[in-house]
Amino acid sequence: MSMKSLLIISRQPPSQHAAREALDVALAAAAFDVPVGLLFMDDGVLQLRQGQDAPAIGLKSLAANLQALPVFGVEDIMVCDHSLAERGMRAQPLLLPVRRVDASEIAVLLEHYQRIITL
């Protein structure tokens, strides 16, 4: 039986390899048919910001990878509402349709998943 896995993405895009490498884990897990949830929190929520211009600093945009997640079967995509508020992003449209979760919902998520990885 597959262990349901929750990946917590806490790094900002795309200036750090870490952001891309966190998504790579999600896609690898999906490729192995492991049920995966993604939770963006802390600086990770910045990955969901619209209108980013990665090529302007010589980097590749992560937007395409993010938008491909549902295609690869990663559909439980969540974002920490508090982290959005801290960064003034609560009222902004995001790059992906995501479910906003508060602290108590995050506590439930941590119970629900059998594997938790912070990336």
Q: Which of 15, 17, 60, 71 binds other proteins (CB under 8 A)?
A: 17
Dump the DSSP string for 52-108: --GGGGT---SHHHHHHTGGGT--EEEEEHHHHHHTT-TTS-BSS--EEE-HHHHHH
Residue span binding other proteins (CB under 8 A) among the ranges 5-13, 45-53, 63-71, 105-113:
5-13
Q: Which of 59, 76, 109, 118 binds other proteins (CB under 8 A)?
A: 118
Nearest to 41 by CA among 8, 74, 1: 8
Nearer to other proteins, 3 or 85 (CB): 3
What minimum distance in Å lies between the beta carbon of 114 and other proteins? 9
Q: Per the structure block, which two tokens stand in for 25?
A: 């884990």
Asked if residue 3 binds other proteins (CB under 8 A), the reply is yes
Give dist(CA 98, CA 58) in Å, integer.
28
Backbone phi and psi for residue 82, each to the nearest 5 degrees, phi listed first: -65, -40
Asked whether the beta carbons of 53 and 15 are under 8 A apart, the reply is no
Q: Which of 25, 59, 96, 106 binds other proteins (CB under 8 A)?
A: 25
Q: Which of 12, 34, 76, 106 binds other proteins (CB under 8 A)?
A: 34
List residues near other proteins by CB under 8 A. Answer: 2-3, 5, 10-11, 17-18, 21, 24-25, 28-29, 31-32, 34, 115, 117-119
